[in-house]
Amino acid sequence: MQNPILSLIRKVTRKDFFSLFGFVFKMLSPSFVKKFLIFLLKDRVFESYENTDQSLRVDVFGSSFNNPIGLAAGFDDEVEVVDELCHMGLGFGELGTFTLRGSEENFQSTKFFRKQSAIFYRNNGYHNLTCKQASPKLALRRGKKNLVGVSLGEDQHSKDPVEDIVKCIPSVAPYADYLVVNLSCPDYLGAKILQNELKLHDLVKRAKEVIKIAVPLKPCPLLVKVPYDIPVDAKRVLVERCLSCGIDGLVVSGPLLKVPEGVILREADYGGFFAGQPVGEDVNNLIKEYYYLSNGRLPIIATGGVFSGKDAYKRIRAGASLVQVYSVLLYKGPEYIPTMIKELAECLKADGFNSIEDAIGADLKKA
Ligand SMILES: Cc1cc2nc3c(=O)[nH]c(=O)nc-3n(C[C@H](O)[C@H](O)[C@H](O)COP(=O)(O)O)c2cc1C
């Protein structure tokens, strides 16, 4: 039986839900708003949308993406709504981050900084499923055409992140179009793998061997989500390492520690990260750096501060092949997805590009 309140919501609006009810959400915490959105998405309250503009199609990581705008990791941490969000227009979704043992400390704090369109978050361990718990949920969506990446990370108290991550792979790789090793969290041991050539080679070699055994017919590509805060010289070394050990791409970038202008933090809030509009400029510059350093040989998924089709287009011109969204869904609602996709197509046309692929890295090619 249909939930009468949801039926009413559906009748009142299928397009303008956020503009009508957004003022209520503004009083709540981001984690609550996310839970509520997931509840609505599961009930298909929102209108569906399918992009038919072929110029937005992107072929990368061995798959053909309907359009380059996808969901960032951490939003659909229980594999519940990725297909609903693709039904509303997203070109793909990243699930997880899943870990081997999960986090025993169930603590996550999130806060809106509305004037800045930012979200502040602090995690003690990933709040998400273990890879064993995620596996049957991923299996259930097998056969769906929507493309998904799966993000893997270490447990908060992991002593050997390489071992943990490699052990996670067999239970999720058969259901992933790409895998991401999340080494972006500066508090975790995993981030140190990037500074150690032998460890990174060991991780990639073992991960690729396990992927080949788990999915022999179409081994999924392996990407790394990199931290925000790496000095330029270290980035050059990192790119060389990634290329030499066979990493297939980068997710740029991990959490931003920089406090956005106008935000005043209480002492208790230190140790957290920012997402949302103010991180966009930094992420754009980072993408340019990685694109330049790798000479376009490491395809990039951009994450951070994408709040419009124009923002997505900027990331693509900076060198990203795909972009991800998170905060904008909490600020503008999932019904904003089609607007972003259409705006991206307009930007592309206005600059005379026939395809996204022609626009990737255009800012650097021009220089
Ligand atoms: C509450 C919260 C939880 C997140 N959890 C994860 C996670 O589990 N794994 C991950 O790789 N990124 C995680 N992220 C980072 C997002 O994937 C994304 O990189 C970040 O939100 C920046 O994008 P945005 O500005 O569009 O929000 C999380 C972000 C937030 C706000």
- Residue 284 structure tokens: 């754009």
Q: Report which protein residue has its CA nearest ligand 1's atom 24.
A: 304
Is the Cβ atom of 331 under 6 angstroms away from ligand 1? no
In this prediction, residue 26 carries a pLDDT of 73
Whether this prediction's pTM lies above 0.85 is answered by yes
Q: Pick the atom of ligand 1 nearest to 325's CA.
A: 26
Is the Cβ atom of 134 under 6 angstroms away from ligand 1? no
Q: Report which protein residue has its CA nearest ligand 1's atom 8.
A: 74
In this prediction, residue 173 carries a pLDDT of 97
d(CA 248, CA 102): 26
Strands 320-325 and 69-71: parallel
1 CB-contact burial (10 Å; exposed 0-12 / middle 13-18 / buried 19+):
exposed
At 362, the amino acid letter reads: A
In this prediction, residue 34 carries a pLDDT of 92
Q: Is the peptide bond before 97 cis (omega within 30 degrees of 0)?
A: yes
Q: What is the best residue among 122, 303, 307, 340 to mutate for testing ligand 1's pocket, by most ligand atoms within 8 Å of CB?
A: 303
Distance 216 CA to ligand 1 centre (A): 31
Is the Cβ atom of 117 under 6 angstroms away from ligand 1? no
- Residue 118 structure tokens: 């930012």
In this prediction, residue 367 carries a pLDDT of 57
Distance 312 CA to ligand 1 centre (A): 16
CA R_g for the chain: 19
Residue-by-residue DSSP string for 180-234 = EEE---TTSTHHHHTT-HHHHHHHHHHHHHHHHHHSSSSPPPEEEEEPS---HHH
38 contacts 334 by C-beta, under 8 angstroms: no
Report domain 4-366's class: alpha beta
Q: For 174, how many CA atoms within 13 A lie in the half-sphere containing its CB?
A: 15
Contacts from 299-302 at CB under 8 Å and sequence distance 24+?
A: 299/60, 299/61, 299/248, 299/249, 299/250, 300/249, 300/250, 300/251, 300/252, 301/70, 301/94, 301/149, 301/223, 301/249, 301/250, 301/251, 301/252, 302/252
Angle, alpha carbons 196-199-204 (nearest 5°): 125
In this prediction, residue 357 carries a pLDDT of 96
In this prediction, residue 16 carries a pLDDT of 66
In this prediction, residue 46 carries a pLDDT of 85
Distance 269 CA to ligand 1 centre (A): 17
Edge-to-edge strand list for the sheet holding 118-124: 107-113, 118-124, 273-276
Is the Cβ atom of 72 under 6 angstroms away from ligand 1? yes
Q: Pick the atom of ligand 1 nearest to 73's CA.
A: 17
Is the Cβ atom of 284 under 6 angstroms away from ligand 1? no
From 201, 179, 295, select the one nearest 245 (Cα to Cα).
Answer: 201
In this prediction, residue 275 carries a pLDDT of 92
Q: Pick the atom of ligand 1 nearest to 279's CA.
A: 25
The ranges of the chain with pLDDT < 50 are none
From 287, 288, 319, select the one nearest 304 (Cα to Cα).
Answer: 287
d(CA 316, CA 361): 6
Distance 139 CA to ligand 1 centre (A): 24
Could you give the C-alpha distances from 199 to 173, 194, 232, 270, 306, in angstroms and in order? 21, 8, 21, 30, 33
Q: Tens digit of pLDDT for each residue in 262-298?
A: 888 776 667 788 999 999 999 999 999 999 999 999 9
In this prediction, residue 317 carries a pLDDT of 98
